[in-house]
Copies of this chain bind each other. A is one copy, B any other.
Amino acid sequence: MKRKMVIHTPHGDLATPFFMPIATRGAVKTLSSFDIEHLGSPILLSNTYHLWLRPGMDVMKEMGGLHKFMDWNGAILTDSGGFQVFSLSGLRKLTPEGVQFQSHIDGAKMMLTPELCMQIQRTIGSDICMVLDVCTELPAKREDLETALALTTEWAKRSKNEFEKTREDSINPGALLFGIVQGGTDIELRKRSAQELIDIGFDGYAIGGLSVGEPFEEACKVLEALDPILPKDKPRYFMGGAKPHEIVGYVERGIDMFDCVLPTRNARHGQLYRFIHDDLSRPDFYETVQITNEKWKMSKEPIGEGPELSRYTMGYLRHLFTVDEMLGQRLATMVNVKFYLDLMDKIRQRG
């Protein structure tokens, strides 16, 4: 069931399946765009909500969009910020018009609507924009899920209208727009959501509201149910964290695009991903090691390959973490991002 396609964006072609390093605030934590180029990722993921608040759209406009702002010539996908706004529980209020909330920075009252969300992403100049969706906390009553779903579809329509209206005047008119399938783990609702989005018509379809604590098997069931419904020729994006062996499983269930905070976040805590063997069909094909472990004290094993990573040993990296040198977090981040990129390489090369 593995799919192969090439997604054409104004900032390069993307061979699927692929992984997107997370640059929430316009930088992959600890790394420069120079570093990401060296690591070889053709795309980054950034966040509408965070960039809207800081640096703000006045800066983004003046700077000519995020590509220029961070001097990144690859593709950029921006998450709509819905997930972030809905995570501000207590501070936000859902209305049919949009979602009211208080900024996590200064408490300012703000309102994000599907239209504004499109305008922000147009200002950012994303290559792949995401509609604003309604995220429901799980577990949820079926009627709450149904209401959220109806509003998600309604917002998806409004998003598409605004996206088309703003195309011509935007800095990146060739951008794509993805819809987001919701419905929790309710298969019937998931199918309904997908069908309603397909009727509107998008350049790609994301599966939202998973990776929120449900078991892997539960997520797989949703993907298996959606597989025959989603258009074969449009990319499918699994939103949210996925461990390496889960990515393999999701690719087998038709997913083309991934993001995940684990490689970068774990790196900053000294946890490194490493391949054990090449048989991706067995979930034990990788391990995570804690670099601060005594075991690595004298290790001369290189932390990775390539002109920069091959220079440093596990022993040196352990030392950097032990004495709290920031360089340690940066090198570990490079190791883990490289691992996820290599994983996708291996998956693409599988028969």
Listed in ascending order, the chain A residues whose CB lies under 8 Å from chain B are: 25-27, 29-34, 50, 54-55, 58-59, 62-63, 69-71, 297-298, 300, 307-308, 311-313, 315-316, 318-320, 322-323, 325-327, 329-331
Q: Measured between C-beta atoms, what is the minimum distance from A270 to chain B in Å? A: 15
How many copies of this chain does one complex carry? 2
Among B26, B54, B58, B312, the residue within 8 A (CB) of A316 is: B26
Q: Measured between C-beta atoms, what is the minimum distance from A291 to chain B in Å? A: 13
Interface centre among A31, A50, A312, A316 (most CB of B within 10 A): A316
Secondary structure of the A contact surface, majority rule: helix
- Sample of 20 A–B contacts (CB below 8 Å): A25-B319, A25-B323, A26-B316, A29-B327, A30-B327, A30-B330, A32-B311, A32-B330, A32-B331, A55-B318, A55-B322, A58-B298, A62-B315, A63-B298, A63-B313, A69-B319, A70-B316, A71-B316, A326-B329, A330-B330
Residues of B within 8 A of A313 (CB): 63, 69
Bound together, the chains give a CA A58 to CA B331 distance in angstroms of: 24
CB <8 Å contact, A298 and B59: yes
Among B58, B69, B300, B322, the residue within 8 A (CB) of A63 is: B300
Task: List the B residue with the shortest CB-CB distance to A310.
Answer: B71
Bound together, the chains give a CA A300 to CA B323 distance in angstroms of: 36
CB <8 Å contact, B322 and A27: no
Bound together, the chains give a CA A140 to CA B83 distance in angstroms of: 63
Bound together, the chains give a CA A300 to CA B69 distance in angstroms of: 9
CB <8 Å contact, A330 and B319: no
A326-B30, A330-B330, A331-B32 are known contacts. Are A55 and B319 too (CB-CB below 8 A)?
A: yes
Q: Measured between C-beta atoms, what is the minimum distance from A323 to chain B in Å? A: 4
CB <8 Å contact, B55 and A297: yes
Residues of B within 8 A of A316 (CB): 26, 63, 69-71
Residues of B within 8 A of A308 (CB): 32, 34
CB <8 Å contact, B29 and A325: yes
Bound together, the chains give a CA A31 to CA B298 distance in angstroms of: 22
CB <8 Å contact, A325 and B27: yes
CB <8 Å contact, B327 and A32: yes
Residues of B within 8 A of A318 (CB): 55
CB <8 Å contact, B54 and A319: yes
Task: List the B residue with the shortest CB-CB distance to A56.
Answer: B297
Q: Measured between C-beta atoms, what is the minimum distance from A319 to chain B in Å? A: 4
Bound together, the chains give a CA A201 to CA B256 distance in angstroms of: 70
CB <8 Å contact, A327 and B31: yes
Bound together, the chains give a CA A50 to CA B319 distance in angstroms of: 12
Bound together, the chains give a CA A250 to CA B290 distance in angstroms of: 47
CB <8 Å contact, A326 and B323: no
Task: List the B residue with the shortest CB-CB distance to A70.
Answer: B316
Among B59, B311, B323, B331, the residue within 8 A (CB) of A319 is: B59
Q: Measured between C-beta atoms, what is the minimum distance from A55 to chain B in Å? A: 4
Task: List the B residue with the shortest CB-CB distance to A28.
Answer: B327
